[in-house]
Structure 1
């Protein structure tokens, strides 16, 4: 039940809420004194000229006002603090849960959608979680106490005042259901808008829009989605507004009905109740209608918020398909022996396996290169070693331990990844490097940058290691970003290194510089390279050729060239594309 889950969110703050409830109850009860003080003023103090009593009653009314203000400020502070803590807990829970999701979730989900759930949906619940509990307790206490006080004054007029309440509750429930439907559409539209902003106003999006001449088209598309959102906002605010207005009109008219009913029931010019009692009753009646309307509004808001809570719970209930083991195997020093045994893998509901019966052994400290055509399964294989995905069949082991039995911390300590798409945060060079090792000293940063052959470039910048890299590192070239990623891996110092086409997007000159940095990084480590340019993996201890997810050839560079098979064909094509005379000559000689 969503309501039960919502209530559980407030569980850790039950004592704070109890304190708020006491403040609210005290405020509601104290405010009920005023009508009775007014009755005494009108019926006793003024007609009889009792100045002393009048002074006491007036002072009592002032004390009630001061007490109510103190109670109100205190309860607002505590309830707002509790509400914000609940929102913090929700945001953190969603973020932490998403951090545990596998790569597959993010490949099929728009980033803007994820951002919208955390920002818009949780933000939209702010009023509900910060004020609803206190409003509910305050108004409920006020309504119950007021009805009791009204009945004490005159039970017949009380029945007249309450006769329309069931109809009002029914109308409010209808309005709530209508707003909930509109809220669902509005939040989905907010997510769409957030996705457009994220994609089109990123550095990559701006570059694409400007170079393709589509800036105007993107603006028009944004305007169209924004118009839809505006219409939904109007619908959300106007849903049931006329019906609620009718409720307020009826409630506002009730004092007139009470005056009329009192006059009709009088006999021989004498009313059944005193003027003071009548004024006190209508004052209480107004005190009843205000919290009653607010209670009905709270009901509407709760139904609206249920949709927002539902969207958040939907994310919190997402199954973790790559889960950390409850009792992970503890490992000491990791040597770096990697073994893939009869590995099979399939993406989701895909009909065909991406990898089938892959069996590869990579001894500690050795190097493996994986080559093949696009779509052969090279990158997928590289994802299985750091456990970005779990194998469908078979196993991947490190030092004889299945990666599914290792804790995420141990696995991250064992395997470092340098991919073609280098991601840098919008922070300083030093902060980006320390992401791999938060406690790294300045000297360690410099040493890692020297290994990656990027120190001289960083030192030449006006702010050195304090230079902001810009959004996604766009202040640096592709080769510079790759070398920063290598420096980050050096700081991490993993015994196993996975290189996923780390130089494929670079020009020949930059590739040589980056390759030298990679060679320095790979020294003494188990290295698994997903190769695009075959000239970079000639010295690998073992080369595996994949074709449609199957291992079709394996061996050293020289042995595979001598076979004259798939690898030799890939090498000849690579030699033509890269215009590498030495590689072409070697390939032709081997083939001959």
Structure 2
């Protein structure tokens, strides 16, 4: 199996450039619905910071007044004040965490659901060109990676900034001369943090891209179909090598991301620790002795240690925010995708439809295609009749069926049902009008009952059983130990191909569509199973407008009309007998 090529340096650079251009205003808009709770959090933070500033002054009073004068009453009051300050700040901290975490989680929930809902509206072309593992990685890993930033960064900035300001004011009140010493370290600290932030932002973009590749490998290697494929092809060792290489690259990126700028930040930590030591040395010099009381000196150095912690926190938050911009960039990229197949601005309100389908001069080219898959197709399917589409592989049959189900929109021309253009219908209304049964039946990894109820959430058990009987699958399901509560397994592997097809038919029966598309629904089945499924399909198609796409001409002999497609064009149409008598393309296919 070919090993995927790691993203090129140009791709990495593009991702980093996108991260740099993420609008902070757009990120802030995520929090706009929660302005009230955030205001409360900020108020709590400010109150906590102000209350916390009392501790150094209480400490100075203990050292300079209570202890030298052995004033037990004052000492007790000061000690009680210290305990009270600690208790109040602890309670305020719990309140702050409770509110801020709740806001952050709600923002994450909204972001996840918005991205998921937006991707659900994308056309099949998006999912054709995008790896499933890539989509999963962005919804889970990227948004998960943003969680810490979203849930704690805003409050961390507010808390650290408030603490820094309050502490700086208190330090100036104690000694403005010593406060000037502290300012010396600020410019290099800010400069270093900016450089570290830039390094981590670029590494984060690379790491998430590699993580997406790893998820793709997992998706392609550990699903039921993939496991069977690799077992039969003997490609398991190659797949392990591919996974190992991807994991090794991810490990290297994780290590580089964690270590990026660590030496620089560690240097700043040493400088921060050295400042109090220098102050102690300065206070002991002969020409400074006696200018500061011991209590003031201890209180100041205590404040200074307190200001360095939130200052370091602010610098670290800046690095985290810069790193998270790469994640926001990847999520916003998906949110900004154009929806190709969307509800109309002013949808037509549908009444009772007869199911008259008209395909009028339709042309369509697949994205990236070099020639039209359909070229000027004109067909009419009167309500209650059957049109069969036949032709060689690649002639455009399945594409035409997909257009009728509006999985794509035509480049030119239009498709109508009872005179209403499909593009003027709500997608939900159209899904209720057009039902599809294809050769590739997809069943959800849940019970038979829930698979059927997916088509009609309010269906009763009696309706589900009636649909299963009509699809000739009830006896099979009822004979299982758990009946309709039997788990179908991943992609329905609990059942045979013919059984899955009949479950899909029962699911479509529950929707009761006026227009039915049968896309090669029996082509992969053996003769006996095909006969059982065909009987179910005949019952399903009765009194409905039906488009049947088939390779086996025996399944379409009784269609009201047959259209022969060749390279996207209708080259013949008529009944089976008429087309055979013409001795044209259809007769050649039937021979």
Aligned 8 A contact 2:283 2:289 in 1: no
Residue 87 of structure 2 is aligned to residue 87 of structure 1: no
Match of 1:136 in 2: 157
**SS of the residue aligned with 1:48?**
coil
In 1, the alpha carbon distance for the partners of 2:353 and 2:219 equals 40
Match of 2:303 in 1: 284
**SS of the residue aligned with 2:352?**
coil
Residue 204 of structure 2 is aligned to residue 158 of structure 1: no
In 2, the alpha carbon distance for the partners of 1:393 and 1:368 equals 22
Match of 1:339 in 2: 358
Match of 2:322 in 1: 303
Scaled by the length of structure 2, the TM-score of the pair is 0.95
In 1, the alpha carbon distance for the partners of 2:369 and 2:235 equals 34
In 2, the alpha carbon distance for the partners of 1:322 and 1:491 equals 25
Q: 2:392 aligned to 340, 358, 373, which one?
A: 373
Match of 1:235 in 2: 256
Aligned 8 A contact 2:435 2:517 in 1: yes
**SS of the residue aligned with 2:413?**
strand
In 1, the alpha carbon distance for the partners of 2:273 and 2:397 equals 73
Aligned 8 A contact 1:2 1:309 in 2: no
In 1, the alpha carbon distance for the partners of 2:280 and 2:181 equals 12
Deviation of residue 412 (structure 1)? 0.7
**SS of the residue aligned with 1:395?**
strand
**SS of the residue aligned with 1:156?**
helix
Match of 1:538 in 2: 557
Q: How does 1:218-229 map to 2 (within 5 A)?
A: 218-229=239-250
Aligned 8 A contact 1:461 1:467 in 2: yes
Match of 2:13 in 1: none
Q: 1:417 aligned to 423, 431, 436, which one?
A: 436
Aligned 8 A contact 1:94 1:312 in 2: yes
CA deviation map 1:184-220 (0-9, x unaligned): 1110111111111112100001101111112222112
Deviation of residue 323 (structure 1)? 1.6
Match of 1:183 in 2: 204
Match of 1:505 in 2: 524
Residue 43 of structure 2 is aligned to residue 31 of structure 1: no
Aligned 8 A contact 1:142 1:291 in 2: yes
Aligned 8 A contact 1:416 1:489 in 2: yes
In 1, the alpha carbon distance for the partners of 2:360 and 2:228 equals 44
Aligned 8 A contact 1:2 1:310 in 2: no
Aligned 8 A contact 1:415 1:494 in 2: yes
**SS of the residue aligned with 1:532?**
coil
Aligned 8 A contact 2:518 2:547 in 1: yes
CA deviation map 1:248-279 (0-9, x unaligned): 11101110122223334x53x73322111111
In 1, the alpha carbon distance for the partners of 2:279 and 2:517 equals 82
Question: 77-86 or 139-148: which moved more?
Answer: 77-86
- Tell me how large the CA RMSD over aligned residues is: 1.0
In 1, the alpha carbon distance for the partners of 2:275 and 2:444 equals 63
**SS of the residue aligned with 1:499?**
strand
In 1, the alpha carbon distance for the partners of 2:202 and 2:214 equals 19
Scaled by the length of structure 1, the TM-score of the pair is 0.95
In 2, the alpha carbon distance for the partners of 1:176 and 1:270 equals 43
Deviation of residue 351 (structure 1)? 2.4
In 2, the alpha carbon distance for the partners of 1:408 and 1:183 equals 38
Aligned 8 A contact 1:377 1:548 in 2: yes
CA deviation map 1:433-454 (0-9, x unaligned): 0000111111111110111111
Aligned 8 A contact 1:345 1:355 in 2: yes
Aligned 8 A contact 1:422 1:482 in 2: yes
In 2, the alpha carbon distance for the partners of 1:410 and 1:173 equals 53
Q: How does 1:361-440 map to 2 (within 5 A)?
A: 361-440=380-459
Match of 2:3 in 1: none
In 1, the alpha carbon distance for the partners of 2:584 and 2:185 equals 88
Deviation of residue 340 (structure 1)? 0.7
CA deviation map 1:456-490 (0-9, x unaligned): 10111111100000000001000000000000000
Aligned 8 A contact 1:341 1:358 in 2: yes
**SS of the residue aligned with 1:369?**
strand
CA deviation map 1:306-332 (0-9, x unaligned): 110110000000111112111101111
Residue 216 of structure 2 is aligned to residue 195 of structure 1: yes
**SS of the residue aligned with 1:125?**
helix
Match of 1:583 in 2: none
Match of 1:328 in 2: 347
Residue 119 of structure 2 is aligned to residue 98 of structure 1: yes
In 2, the alpha carbon distance for the partners of 1:560 and 1:223 equals 58
Aligned 8 A contact 2:360 2:378 in 1: yes
Residue 579 of structure 2 is aligned to residue 568 of structure 1: no
In 2, the alpha carbon distance for the partners of 1:249 and 1:498 equals 72
CA deviation map 1:44-80 (0-9, x unaligned): 1111111111110000000011111111111111111
Question: 348-357 or 223-232: which moved more?
Answer: 348-357
CA deviation map 1:213-261 (0-9, x unaligned): 1222211211111111111110110111110101111101110122223
Residue 551 of structure 2 is aligned to residue 555 of structure 1: no
In 2, the alpha carbon distance for the partners of 1:55 and 1:452 equals 85
Match of 1:580 in 2: none
In 1, the alpha carbon distance for the partners of 2:146 and 2:97 equals 17
Match of 1:590 in 2: none
Residue 473 of structure 2 is aligned to residue 449 of structure 1: no
In 1, the alpha carbon distance for the partners of 2:294 and 2:375 equals 92
Q: How does 1:237-256 map to 2 (within 5 A)?
A: 237-256=258-277
Q: 1:465 aligned to 479, 484, 492, which one?
A: 484
CA deviation map 1:13-69 (0-9, x unaligned): 111111111111111111111100000111111111111111100000000111111
Match of 1:359 in 2: 378
Aligned 8 A contact 2:396 2:565 in 1: yes
Residue 147 of structure 2 is aligned to residue 126 of structure 1: yes
Deviation of residue 455 (structure 1)? 0.6
In 2, the alpha carbon distance for the partners of 1:378 and 1:247 equals 68
Q: 1:521 aligned to 540, 547, 550, which one?
A: 540
